[in-house]
Amino acid sequence: MSETANATVVVDGVSKHYDLGGRVTALDDVSLTLSKGSYTAIMGPSGSGKSTLLNLVGGLDTPSAGRVVVDGRDLSSAGEDELAAVRGTDVGFVFQTFNLMPRLTAVENVALPLVFDGWDRDRRRERALSLLSDVGLGDRIDHLPTELSGGQRQRVAIARALSTEPALILADEPTGNVDTETGARILDVFDDLHAAGNTLLLVTHERHVAERAERVVHVEDGRVRSIEETPEGTD
Amino acid sequence: MDPAESVRMTVRSIRGHKLRSALTVVGVVIGIASVITFATFGASVETEIVGDIETTNAGNVYVFATASGDDDFDRVLQPVFTESDVNRLAATDGVRAALPRGIVRTQSIRHGNQTLARQQVTATRPASFTPSVLVEGRAFESGEDAVVVNEDMARSFDGNLSAGETVTLTTADGEERTLAVVGVVNGTRGELPVSDFARQPRVYVPIEPFYDAVVESPSAGVRQRAYPQVTLVADPRRIPETQSAVQAYLSEESDARSLSADDTDLVARSGSDFVEQISDVIERITRFVTGIAVIALVVGAIGIANVMLVSVTERTREIGIMKAVGARNRDVMQIFLVEAALLGAFGSLLGVPLGLVVGYAATRYAEVTFSLAPLWMGLAVAVGVLVGVLAGLYPAWRAARVDPIDALRHE
Ligand SMILES: Nc1ncnc2c1ncn2[C@@H]1O[C@H](COP(=O)(O)OP(=O)(O)OP(=O)(O)O)[C@@H](O)[C@H]1O
Ligand SMILES: [Mg+2]
């Protein structure tokens, strides 16, 4: 398997420590490769390091040791501006808590990454509107996050993650705060993105969610315990 | 990032905290308003005084003695200009007339049954009262028992003094002299800036027989009248040359030179010299008072900085979100600086009209004509924005350095 050659993400011997009086090891020598267009789920008990791993891949955090390479770019040695560019254009992040800007409307939230990516106003709005209608929120464009339901907020967040057309989508428990039905719709969106050739990495602790992916990485105590190919992924 | 977008986001966030934002800029509003008030008031006073002198006394050169090195306010000192000096000055090229002025000590002036205290009156020659300054009556003649008053003096008496009436002047030694009021002159035209530029009631009497300060003229060898001040009516097109010719005479040959102490300067000032001097003094006062107003601005800046720091803490999570979707440190910095600058601009925009209103009230109170100081207004707004930006620098820098992961975890 020439996995590395075709890889979008390479996590190579990565550790993450926190020094708070004692030393907390969130990740301990983790290696993982995501090939282009793959769909991977991460499972594991609470506190096992899933979010930490996702944040490192998304350029939100930097490793204590090891390398994280995204699209050929080594994030462990990247400067602040380069990391910002990765977060803005290479990666789309979907959070469990949505993380929408409270004073911006749905369409403005979706357009926010485009502001930092230097798009002009008309193009930003046009793109944001089409993304919102793709996720079924064409009639909620001027609503503030507080005027939307949890599931609607998560769809705004997904539209935002897609705005700069990143090849890599990262989602940290995207269905954790929405009801089962909405969760199912969100997973359908991910399936579509996968079908369209995007690379997906999704953290979940729900078995049925993880099974939508091609493979499941099991993490425990900051280490990768096993990698499981799902029936879905084998076709 | 797109500056227009950062302004939009900022306006949104300021609107989200209307009361807080308004309170934040109170310091700036007060600072800018005080600057504008004082600048406007200073400009109004200056325009008024300078306007008086410029329009009326452009062709005059004032000759007087003053203590050396005293370059702000010229104080008229001893009577050192003799009749010989006056004649020589009158004969100088470019001088059309030399009008000596003396001070006659008095106690009071009475009209009808109203007596006003009056320490001194001005003794001068009839030629001082040209038709252009006379609003009523005529000039007195030399040797006549008569006075000319200015309009302010005329108004000092109930029922307004006018030509043809009489006044009784009590001299320093207690003697009462009843004199005819033969003319009234306009209070702002043809005055002596040396002593009259502030509008005050004035009484003029003829030198003969009222003024009797005498001294022995070193050049003529005889006792002559001597005056503390001489006004030269000069050819307006040749003021500089006339001024230097007069100056040369004063410092080399004049009786006044030998009669004055060494530390006394004999000066020949033109109307424009006075304009410059007065403007200079007023400007210095304005600058000083404005400096005090700047302190209010510093307080305003501290207010903005304080609220911005609170705002950064409050919006830590938002900063984290922006960074998570691609904001660079400088984008975050820009957003907070724009917010601080807008608060400063907002403060100045409120402060300028407030300052103008207060400045206008002050000019009404001081009875000077209101004039605007547009440069100061522009400057005040610029300063307000600058104050905001300076106050926002540290908070913005703090915001830019927020770690995205910590920020997203922030509740
Ligand atoms: N900023 C931090 N300071 C100290 N320890 C941290 C920090 N962030 C994470 N950790 C620790 O790292 C470990 C991994 O945390 P992480 O958030 O990755 O867990 P997780 O697998 O996502 O858990 P959950 O399923 O509950 O979200 C935890 O033990 C946590 O306490
Ligand atoms: Mg987690």
- pLDDT over threshold 90, residue A25: yes
Question: Does A96 sit in the ligand 1 pocket, CB within 6 Å?
Answer: no
The answer to whether A176 and A149 have CB atoms below 8 angstroms apart is: no
Residue among B46, B25, B26 at smallest CA distance from B287: B46
Question: If you compute the radius of gyration of chain A from its CA atoms, what whole number of angstroms results?
Answer: 17
The answer to whether A156 and A106 have CB atoms below 8 angstroms apart is: yes
| Long-range contacts of A13-16, Cβ-Cβ distance < 8 Å, separation of 24 or more | A13/A65, A13/A66, A13/A67, A14/A53, A14/A56, A14/A63, A14/A65, A14/A66, A14/A67, A14/A68, A15/A63, A15/A64, A15/A65, A15/A66, A15/A222, A16/A49, A16/A52, A16/A56, A16/A61, A16/A63, A16/A64, A16/A222
| Strand stretches in A44-138, DSSP E | 65-70, 73-74, 91-94
Q: In 3-state terms, chain B is what percent helix, strand and coil (to 5)?
A: 55, 20, 25
| pLDDT value for A16 | 96
> Which run of H or of E encompasses B268?
strand B264-270
Contact A104 B326 (CB under 8 A): no
Residue among B271, B236, B229 at smallest CA distance from B250: B229
For residues A135 and A159, give the distance between their C-alpha atoms in angstroms, rounded to a whole number.
Answer: 7
The answer to whether B61 and B243 have CB atoms below 8 angstroms apart is: yes
Query: Ligand 2 centroid to B405 CA: how many Å?
Result: 12
The answer to whether B375 and B284 have CB atoms below 8 angstroms apart is: no
End-to-end CA distance of chain B: 26
The answer to whether B80 and B265 have CB atoms below 8 angstroms apart is: no
Question: Does A52 sit in the ligand 1 pocket, CB within 6 Å?
Answer: yes
Characterize the bridge pairing of strands B203-206 and B114-117.
Answer: unpaired
Measured in residues, chain A has a length of 235
Residue among B174, B131, B128 at smallest CA distance from B147: B128
User: Which amino acid is it at A85?
Assistant: A
Residue A2 — pLDDT band, cuts 50, 70, 90? very low
Which residues pair with residue B116 across a beta bridge?
B109
| pLDDT value for B191 | 46
From chain A, the residues in CB contact with B321 under 8 A are: 99-101
Residue B179 makes CB contacts below 8 A (sequence gap 6+) with B145, B146, B147, B166, B167, B168, B169, B205
Residue-wise pLDDT tens for chain B (411 aa)?
Answer: 888 888 988 888 888 888 888 888 888 898 888 888 888 888 888 777 766 665 555 678 888 887 776 554 555 568 889 999 999 999 998 888 898 988 899 999 999 889 999 888 889 988 888 887 788 899 999 999 999 988 888 888 888 888 899 999 998 888 999 999 999 887 554 444 334 434 678 889 999 889 988 899 888 889 999 998 888 888 877 888 888 899 899 888 888 888 888 878 888 888 777 777 777 887 888 788 778 777 888 888 888 899 889 989 999 999 999 999 999 999 999 999 999 999 998 888 899 899 999 989 988 888 788 888 788 788 888 888 898 999 999 999 999 999 999 999 887
Question: Does A8 sit in the ligand 1 pocket, CB within 6 Å?
Answer: no
- pLDDT over threshold 70, residue A161: yes
Tell me how close the Cα of B4 comes to any Cα of chain A, in angstroms: 9
The pTM of the full predicted model, rounded to 2 decimals, is 0.69
Which residue of B1, B12, B321, B325 to mutate against A (max A Cβ within 10 Å)? B325
Query: Ligand 2 centroid to B352 CA: how many Å?
Result: 53
From chain B, the residues in CB contact with A61 under 8 A are: 404-405
What's phi and psi for A152, nearest 5 deg?
-65, -40
From chain B, the residues in CB contact with A104 under 8 A are: 9, 12
Question: DSSP string spanning A104-121?
Answer: S-HHHHHHHHHHHTT--H
C-beta neighbour count of A106 within 10 angstroms: 27
H-helix segments, B267-371: 271-314, 316-324, 329-366
- Residue minimizing CA distance to atom 12 of ligand 1: A26
The predicted-structure confidence for A194-219, as pLDDT tens digits, reads as follows 999 999 999 998 999 999 999 999 99
For residues B386 and B374, give the distance between their C-alpha atoms in angstroms, rounded to a whole number.
Answer: 18
- pLDDT over threshold 80, residue A233: no
Q: Which CATH number fits domain A36-46+79-234: 3.40.50.300, 3.40.50.880, 3.50.50.60, 3.40.50.720?
A: 3.40.50.300
The answer to whether B256 and B65 have CB atoms below 8 angstroms apart is: yes
Characterize the bridge pairing of strands A39-43 and A65-70.
Answer: unpaired
C-beta neighbour count of B261 within 10 angstroms: 11
Residue among B369, B348, B351, B349 at smallest CA distance from B360: B369
**Among A61, A84, A101, whose Cβ lies nearest the Cβ of B321?**
A101
| pLDDT value for B199 | 62
The answer to whether B65 and B76 have CB atoms below 8 angstroms apart is: yes
List C-alpha distances in Å: A148 to A155, A159, B179: 10, 14, 95
The answer to whether B46 and B223 have CB atoms below 8 angstroms apart is: no
Average pLDDT (A67-96) is 93
Determine if the peptide bond prior to B240 is cis (ω within 30°).
Answer: no
**Among A81, A103, A104, whose Cβ lies nearest the Cβ of B328?**
A81
Contact B405 A55 (CB under 8 A): yes
The answer to whether B231 and B99 have CB atoms below 8 angstroms apart is: yes
| pLDDT value for B195 | 40
Tell me how close the Cα of A10 comes to any Cα of chain B, in angstroms: 20
For residues A121 and A101, give the distance between their C-alpha atoms in angstroms, rounded to a whole number.
Answer: 18
Query: Ligand 2 centroid to A46 CA: how many Å?
Result: 7
The burial class, CB within 10 Å (0-12 / 13-18 / 19+), for B91 is: exposed
User: Which amino acid is it at B1?
Assistant: M
C-beta neighbour count of B294 within 10 angstroms: 16
C-beta neighbour count of A45 within 10 angstroms: 12
Q: How many contacts does A have with B, using Cβ atoms within 8 A?
A: 73
| pLDDT value for A140 | 94
Domain ranges across chain A: 36-46+79-234
Residue among A104, A105, A102, A101 at smallest CA distance from A142: A105
Question: Does A18 sit in the ligand 1 pocket, CB within 6 Å?
Answer: yes
Which residues pair with residue B149 across a beta bridge?
B184, B203
Could you tell me the two tokens for A135? 């996720």
List C-alpha distances in Å: A56 to A12, A42, A53, A179, B313: 12, 14, 5, 28, 25
Question: Does A20 sit in the ligand 1 pocket, CB within 6 Å?
Answer: yes
- Residue minimizing CA distance to atom 10 of ligand 1: A26
Contact B328 A113 (CB under 8 A): no
Average pLDDT (A140-156) is 94
Tell me how close the Cα of B329 comes to any Cα of chain A, in angstroms: 7
